[in-house]
Amino acid sequence: MKVLVVDDDRSARDFAARVLAEAGYEVSTVDSGEAALTRLPEGFEIVVTDLDMPGGLNGVQVTQEVRRSTAADVVIMTAFPDMSTAIHAVRAGAYDYLVKPFSPDTLRLAVDRCAQRRRLSKELERERALKEELSRAYNELSRMQKVRDLLGQFTTPEVVKFVTEHPDDFRTRGDRRVVTVMFVDVRGFTPYAAKVSPEEAVGTLNQYFELLVGAVQENGGVVNKFLGDGLMAVFGAPQPNPRHALDAVWAAHKARTLLHFLSPEADLQLGFAINTGEVVAGCLGAKDRTEYSVIGSPVNLAARMEKAARPGDILVGPETARLVQNDFFIETLPASVFAGFTDPIALGSVVGPRDPVQSLAS
């Protein structure tokens, strides 16, 4: 710790310098208040100054300037003590007040107390700074969690995770991958909605969406968008999933199985279409409005298939059927031509799982 000793008396100055140097301090000396001020920019932490010195600046004035322009502490020495002088020195900002002559131990203890106080102050300051930093970090994490929770009401946790992990370039992180796409529609909802109140129609539709969203998410899928009285879900993006096709069919089977628990008086059914293939996945849209989605021929075919599904059907494309045939009974349907596709395509219809025990567990 750097200490500056200020005293016009050379013997007193040398005595103080020797005692403090032996105590382990890095000591410099000057013989006047004016000289002391020129040395202050050197970063002394403690200034030990005589009170009465010839020239323009006495010890009180040195103390005032030290406290005004630096963070150093001051210990004042004087051979002519009186109460008013001591009070004046303390009011000027002195940490301690020593009466000459004093023993080496007295000087050393006074400076040690000052040094200890400074160390404690620095530790407290570090702790305060750390607490403030931790508080800022906690507040930022809380803010980010609130944002994630809020976004989670409008999109899926997987998409929120994708966007927050790539905040700077999520719009350009498109890639090609093989996924399974599901389209599902609540069959009979339009005539049902025409017969009931808007509140009842919305409440019923939301019950079906709760069932569908739960089945999709429990089987590793992501609800991509709601489409009127239906929805589109993706399995295998944005998080990779090697069993995306099987999970998609299990999700549809679960929803179809549990359908009878929902509003039997509404007499509504579900029609599913599931297709597997390579798509382009990424955030699509404009600067001010974007969403994570998948595009490509497999998506287009799944949308066409959904229009062909009868109430209660789970239609699957050829690749989906191939991937799940060991787990589900698939009825092969006559090949059909779909808009936008030249060749006829033979779809499959999911009859049920080959393992009834696993069906109950799902």
Residues 47, 71: Cα–Cα separation, whole Å: 11
Is pLDDT above 70 for 289? Answer: no
- Predicted local distance difference test score (pLDDT) of residue 96: 84
Q: Model confidence at 216, in pLDDT bands (50, 70, 90)?
A: very high
- Predicted local distance difference test score (pLDDT) of residue 291: 75
| Dihedral of alpha carbons 345, 349, 355, 360, sign | positive
Residues 182/274, Cβ–Cβ less than 8 Å = yes
- Predicted local distance difference test score (pLDDT) of residue 175: 83
- Predicted local distance difference test score (pLDDT) of residue 162: 65
Is pLDDT above 90 for 251? Answer: yes
Architecture of the domain spanning 2-122: 3-Layer(aba) Sandwich (3.40)
- Tell me the residue ranges of DSSP E strands in 137-243: 175-187, 222-227, 230-235
- Predicted local distance difference test score (pLDDT) of residue 269: 93
- Predicted local distance difference test score (pLDDT) of residue 25: 93
Q: Model confidence at 335, in pLDDT bands (50, 70, 90)?
A: very high
Q: Model confidence at 160, in pLDDT bands (50, 70, 90)?
A: low
Bridge partners of 183? 232, 273
Residues 335/323, Cβ–Cβ less than 8 Å = no
Least confident interval from 22-31, 170-179, 310-319: 170-179
Residues 48, 110: Cα–Cα separation, whole Å: 10
Residues 46/63, Cβ–Cβ less than 8 Å = no
Q: Are strands 348-353 and 73-78 parallel, antiparallel or unpaired?
A: unpaired
Residues 340, 343: Cα–Cα separation, whole Å: 10
- Predicted local distance difference test score (pLDDT) of residue 145: 66
Residues 47/16, Cβ–Cβ less than 8 Å = no
Is pLDDT above 80 for 266? Answer: no
34: helix, coil or strand?
Answer: helix
Helix axes 198-218, 244-258, angle to 10 degrees: 140
Helix axes 104-152, 157-165, angle to 10 degrees: 130
pLDDT for 120-156, tens place per residue?
A: 888 877 888 777 887 887 777 777 666 656 555 545 5
Nearest residue to 116 via CA among 41, 46, 169, 56: 46
Is pLDDT above 70 for 172? Answer: no
Query: Which has more confidence, 15 or 156?
Result: 15
Query: How do the domains of the chain map onto residue ranges?
Result: 2-122, 169-361
Nearest residue to 360 via CA among 275, 272, 262, 250: 250
Residues 45/72, Cβ–Cβ less than 8 Å = yes
Q: Model confidence at 292, in pLDDT bands (50, 70, 90)?
A: confident
- Predicted local distance difference test score (pLDDT) of residue 159: 63
Is pLDDT above 90 for 345? Answer: yes
Q: Which residue has the tokens 């990424």?
A: 282
- Predicted local distance difference test score (pLDDT) of residue 122: 81
Residues 163/283, Cβ–Cβ less than 8 Å = yes
pLDDT for 66-108, tens place per residue?
A: 888 888 889 988 887 777 767 777 788 888 888 888 899 999 9
Architecture of the domain spanning 169-361: 2-Layer Sandwich (3.30)
Query: Which has more confidence, 9 or 163?
Result: 9
Residues 181/300, Cβ–Cβ less than 8 Å = no
Output phi, psi for 291, to 5 deg.
Answer: -150, 150
- Predicted local distance difference test score (pLDDT) of residue 278: 97
Residues 22, 9: Cα–Cα separation, whole Å: 20
Query: Which has more confidence, 188 or 90?
Result: 188
Is pLDDT above 80 for 244? Answer: yes
**First and final C-alpha spacing in the chain:** 71
Q: Return mean pLDDT, the chain.
A: 86
Residues 7, 16: Cα–Cα separation, whole Å: 9
Nearest residue to 224 via CA among 162, 270, 164: 162
Q: Do domains 2-122 and 169-361 have the same CATH topology?
A: no
